[in-house]
Amino acid sequence: MNLALSDEQQLFADGIGRFLEKRYAFEHRRQMVAEQRWGDPAIWSALAELGCFGIAVPETAGGFGGGSVEIGLMMRALGRHLAIEPVAAAVVAGTLLGGTEGADDLIEALIGGEMRLAPCFDLVCGVSGVSGSARSLAGGHAAHGLLAACEQSLHLVDPADVRVTPVPLLDDTIGVDVVAEDAPSRRLEVGADWPRHRALAIARGQLARAWQALGVLEGALDATTAYMRERRQFGRPLGAFQTIQHRVAEMTVAAKEAEVAAMLGALVLDAAGPGADAERALSAATGRIAAASAIVAETAVQLHGGMGVSDELDISARFRHLQAFRFRAEAVEQPVERYAEAVVASGAHHHSAVLVEA
């Protein structure tokens, strides 16, 4: 057990952080959102050069073989800068492709940033083609291909062969609604360990969104403490009032809890692989980051006063992202229900969450 970041992990995180600090201006983001764009192709290429799309692909498949911690650090930096580009979708896609044979062309294009893929777990892969529907699919608007990750197989579907309707989402990204009826597809070869790869991809998607929310809420906390030091009312800085201090402290505690929750999810997933332990850790992480998101988002807007409810600062965008994370998590991942039925029902919660057997 080792709880310090390795030098490589630190360098990777610092590199992405520095790049976004320099290149990801909020004004530019505002313009992209107003024009309902998926993101910035130049940023996408630069993220590819930084290694962001190969991190989830095993080295044996031509990727950089990163684990949950690398994925988490990357998503946290993207969240801090409120990046709208669908990097979480690329993480899931990279993990799925890592379980295939003979898809080297796709992997290379994914890692190089030439091909954006939107993974989808809701479609059915039948003998006559891919069918079914998905709502609010992340990354779909930007995608050159849909990856239908079915229980037994993986299919690449050309978006031109299905009905795709863009939908603006609460977090300022563009999702799509997909309807497929016996769509043609390229069937990718998967091995006997496909169910494990698919489960890992689902887990990493959940993990990526959680770490991204962490970055968004840490940014909201920092912006709020800075504003409380600067903004003066009644002849003194707002931060001099005890009622403000206590609310900022509650945000600080929530952000700390969110940080260790994200670590718990990442470290257990890396230690134990997809399975019961990881599901427990990810449910706890998602549930507690959702709770922290509510505290941080609502307090950040409240303490910013009029500026918090305007679109002048990035606070309102952070609020929207964090609430979107919560609503989606509570409806789709249902962390409390899952924990109750999988962990409490089995009694696993009577044992340590961190001292897991590898």
Partner 1 sequence: MDLVLDADQRRFRDEVRAFLQDALTDGLRAGQSRVIGVYPEPDVSLAWQRKLFERGWAAPTWPVEHGGTGWTALQRFIFECECAQAGAPLLYPIGIRLVAPVIMAFGSPEQQARWLPRILSGEDYWCQGFSEPGAGSDLGSLSTRAVRDGDEYVINGSKMWTTHAHHANRMFALVRTREAERPSDGISFVAIDLDTPGVEIRPIISIGGDHDVNQVFLSDVRIPAENLIGEENRGWVYAKYLLEFERGYGLFSGRLRASLRRAEAALKAPATPAQRRRIAEVAMELDVFEMLELSVVGTLPNGAAPGPVSSVLKLRASRLKQAVTQLGVELLGADGVRRVEGSPGNILVTDYLNARAATIFGGAAEVQLGIIAKALGGL
Query: Which residues, 278 to 297, sit near partner 1 by CB under 8 A?
Result: 280-281, 283-285, 287-288
Residue pair 310/275 in contact by the 8 Å Cβ criterion: no
**Contacting partner 1 (CB under 8 A), which of 135, 233, 246, 310?**
246
What six digits make up the tokens of 218?
């840490």
**Contacting partner 1 (CB under 8 A), which of 244, 315, 317, 324?**
244
Residue pair 224/323 in contact by the 8 Å Cβ criterion: no
Q: Is 261 in the site for partner 1 (CB under 8 A)?
A: yes
Integer Cα distance of 75 and 291 in angstroms: 19
| Selection from 229, 230, 219 nearest residue 319 by Cα | 219
Q: Is 232 in the site for partner 1 (CB under 8 A)?
A: no
Least distance between partner 1 and beta carbon 323 (Å): 20
**Contacting partner 1 (CB under 8 A), which of 13, 117, 164, 264?**
264
Integer Cα distance of 260 and 7 in angstroms: 20
Q: What b/e sequence results for 41-79 when a residue is b if at least 16 CB atoms lie within 10 Å of its CB, and e otherwise?
A: eebbebbbebbbbbbbbbeebbbbebbbbbbbbbbbbbb
Residue type, 22: K
> Binding segment for partner 1 among 87-95, 118-126, 301-309, 332-340 (CB under 8 A)?
332-340
Q: Is 11 in the site for partner 1 (CB under 8 A)?
A: no
Q: What does 52-88 look like in DSSP terms, one character per residue? A: TTTTTS-GGGTS----HHHHHHHHHHHHHTT--S-HH
What six digits make up the tokens of 269?
């997933």
**Contacting partner 1 (CB under 8 A), which of 9, 136, 153, 323?**
9
Least distance between partner 1 and beta carbon 299 (Å): 12
Binding-site size for partner 1 (CB under 8 A) equals: 58
**Contacting partner 1 (CB under 8 A), which of 16, 267, 278, 329?**
267
Integer Cα distance of 256 and 261 in angstroms: 8
SS3 at position 122: coil
Q: What b/e sequence results for 23-35 when a residue is b if at least 16 CB atoms lie within 10 Å of its CB, and e otherwise?
A: ebeeeebbebbee
Least distance between partner 1 and beta carbon 189 (Å): 31
What six digits make up the tokens of 216?
């968004």
> Binding segment for partner 1 among 101-109, 155-163, 193-201, 234-242 (CB under 8 A)?
234-242
**Contacting partner 1 (CB under 8 A), which of 5, 109, 170, 313?**
5
Q: Is 4 in the site for partner 1 (CB under 8 A)?
A: yes
Residue ranges in contact with partner 1 by CB under 8 A: 1-6, 9, 69, 225, 228-229, 239-240, 242, 244-246, 248-250, 252-253, 256-257, 260-261, 263-264, 266-268, 270-271, 280-281, 283-285, 287-288, 335-337, 339-341, 343-345, 349-356, 358
